Amino acid sequence: MATAVLGMQWGDEGKGKITHLLAKQADMVVRFNGGPNAGHTMIDRGVKFGTHQIPAGAFYSDTCCVLASGMVVDMWVLREEYEAISHHLGREPQLLVSESAHLILPYHRILEELEGSGARIGTTRRGIGTAYRDKAARVGIRAGDLLHPQRLCDKLSHRLDLLKRMWPASSEIASLSVESLSETLLAASQPFLESITDASAAIRLALKEGKVIFEGAQGALLDLDFGTYPYVTSSSTTLAGLGNAIGIPFPQVEQRIGVVKAYTTRVGEGPFPTELADEEGGKQLREQGGEFGVTTGRPRRCGWLDLVALRHAAALNDPTRLDITKLDVLSGMAEIKVCRAYRLRGSKITDFPHGRGEELALCEPIYETFPGWDEEIGNVRKLEELPQAARDYLEVVTQEVGVPIGLVSVGPAPEETIVT
């Protein structure tokens, strides 16, 4: 039995909370895309964690966590997270790292700065795009290389030679040496060397014998191919990309959970039709929702729920249920808007123009307005105890996507959840 937890917007939908809730029953939790650009928040036994690479299964002793080959892994960040979680748990999490996962090395972050994509795209500046580019250009270093120090040094030497020729004026690049890089990399990776393996084989076995959760990172609208290119991340973030990222064709994922925040947020640059840019509503959502990035601390851009974009995300993720998060944040809004269509050059359109980012930037949302509710709902545990206006709002979402609601989250803690 397999479950995928997938972001349906521009990331930060609350995937961490949902995965952490479900992981208790899982034998394996797999991260399959991205790297430390992700920031997944969960509250474990009262302690808040923002994880970047380690899947939510780490908090349960019987659950194996896998960093699959579709990821780009920063060993220094991994070490820090691993130590923090081990300290919290009083034991080390079970971890497997795919031998074919690519590594983020210090020069990937340096390159991102030199090339200016941090500012242009508004990236997390974690070296994600430059590491995936090295993978595609076949000059990447993979986790499996850590098991063969001489091979690692040969590959690093080739990569550093190229870099120094490309960036002769960069003192940061000039200061890199194979000796110190390999030494610090192997030191940071030391606790994980025995965990580097053929992760696909392990996942395949777990899929046969137990319960597996695939913990998505980012969201459908940040997908490299079907998101709002070029304002996207550099990996496949959807169910469509899962098979390739784990090396298993057509993985049977019976439960596909589309995680939807009750409104929309986006971090970084790029079009966002329902954004409440300088308006009071945007400020209210940011403050009530605590909308500041887990990875970078940046204020998130906030706006109304975009059902046009959500239908596009549903096509990419084929969800069997929608888990709605942060419904509590809408309490106290005088009215709530949703967008079911855009106006583009005077015409109404209902399809998301994902392949034409320039057009998305020109789209104006056509809103429908619903009454809000004043009641605090953080203590509600049954759907029928929600205010009628909140139930009506959930009904609009589920009707539009044609998929039932699974959980409704009304606060960051695991118990602040309505199970339908």
The binder of Mg ion chosen from 7, 14, 39, 412 (CB under 5 A): 39
Query: Is the four-CA dihedral 183, 187, 193, 195 of positive or negative sign?
Result: negative
Q: Please, which residue, 141 or 222, has the CB nearer to Mg ion?
A: 222
At residue 159, the 3 state secondary structure works out as: helix
Tell me whether residue 369 is exposed, middle or buried, using C-beta atoms within 10 angstroms of its C-beta: 0 to 12, 13 to 18, 19 or more. Answer: exposed
Residue type, 417: T
With contacts defined by CB under 6 A, how many residues of the chain interact with ligand IMO? 24
β-strands 305-306, 335-344 pairing? parallel
Mark the segment that binds ligand IMO (CB under 6 A) among 115-123, 136-144, 315-323, 409-417. Answer: 115-123
Catalytic residue flag (residue 40):
yes
- Rounded to whole angstroms, the Cα distance separating 365 from 281 reads 15
Q: Which does 14 bind (CB under 5 to 8 A by kind): Mg ion, ligand GDP, ligand IMO, none?
A: ligand GDP
One symbol per residue from 126 to 145: x for binding ligand IMO (CB under 6 A), - otherwise; what is it? x-xx----------------
The binder of ligand IMO chosen from 12, 223, 291, 306 (CB under 6 A): 12
Q: Does 33 bind ligand IMO (CB under 6 A)?
A: no
DSSP bridge partners of 190: none
Q: Please, which residue, 41 or 398, has the CB nearer to ligand GDP?
A: 41
Q: Please, which residue, 10 or 60, has the CB nearer to ligand GDP?
A: 10
Could you tell me the two tokens for 152? 């690692």
Taking every pair of C-alpha atoms in the chain, what is the biggest distance, in angstroms? 66
Q: Please, which residue, 182 or 228, has the CB nearer to ligand IMO?
A: 228
Binders in 291-330 for Mg ion, by CB under 5 A: 294
DSSP bridge partners of 94: 64
In our burial notation (b when 16+ CB lie closer than 10 A, e otherwise), range 315-351 reads: bbbebbbbbbbbbbbbbebeebbbbbbbebeeeeeee
Q: Please, which residue, 200 or 234, has the CB nearer to ligand IMO?
A: 234
Q: Please, which residue, 35 or 412, has the CB nearer to ligand GDP?
A: 412
- Rounded to whole angstroms, the Cα distance separating 191 from 194 reads 7
Q: Which does 409 bind (CB under 5 to 8 A by kind): ligand GDP, ligand IMO, Mg ion, none?
A: ligand GDP
At residue 154, the 3 state secondary structure works out as: helix
Q: Which does 268 bind (CB under 5 to 8 A by kind): ligand IMO, ligand GDP, Mg ion, none?
A: ligand IMO
Q: What are phi and psi of 5, to 5 degrees?
A: -110, 110
Mark the segment that binds ligand IMO (CB under 6 A) among 64-72, 93-101, 122-130, 326-334. Answer: 122-130
Q: Which does 55 bind (CB under 5 to 8 A by kind): ligand IMO, Mg ion, ligand GDP, none?
A: none
- Rounded to whole angstroms, the Cα distance separating 179 from 13 reads 42
Which residues of this protein are in contact with ligand GDP, per CB under 6 A? 7, 11-17, 39-41, 290, 294, 325-326, 328-329, 409-412
Q: Does 215 bind Mg ion (CB under 5 A)?
A: no
Q: Please, which residue, 113 or 198, has the CB nearer to ligand IMO?
A: 113
Which residues does 330 contact at the CB level (< 8 Å), separation at least 6? 262, 263, 336, 372, 373, 390, 393
Q: Please, which residue, 72 or 363, has the CB nearer to ligand GDP?
A: 72
Which is catalytic among the residues 40, 52, 102, 312?
Answer: 40
How far is the CA of 397 from the CAs of 294, 306, 403, in angstroms? Answer: 27, 10, 9
The binder of ligand IMO chosen from 2, 4, 7, 236 (CB under 6 A): 7
- Rounded to whole angstroms, the Cα distance separating 409 from 418 reads 6
Q: What are phi and psi of 289, to 5 degrees?
A: -90, 0
Minimum distance of ligand IMO from residue 150's CB (angstroms): 32
Q: Does 51 bind ligand IMO (CB under 6 A)?
A: no
Q: Which does 411 bind (CB under 5 to 8 A by kind): ligand IMO, ligand GDP, Mg ion, none?
A: ligand GDP
**Category of 250 on φ-ψ map: left (φ > 0), alpha (ψ -120 to 50) or beta:** left
The binder of ligand IMO chosen from 124, 195, 236, 325 (CB under 6 A): 124
The binder of ligand IMO chosen from 217, 324, 397, 407 (CB under 6 A): 217
Could you tell me the two tokens for 413? 């803690």
Range list of β-strands (E), 22-78: 28-31, 40-44, 47-51, 64-67, 72-73
Q: Which residues bind ligand IMO (CB under 6 A)?
A: 7, 10-12, 37-40, 121-124, 126, 128-129, 217-219, 222, 231, 233-234, 267-268
Would you name the residues annotated as active-site residues? 12, 40
Q: Which residues bind Mg ion (CB under 5 A)?
A: 12, 39, 294
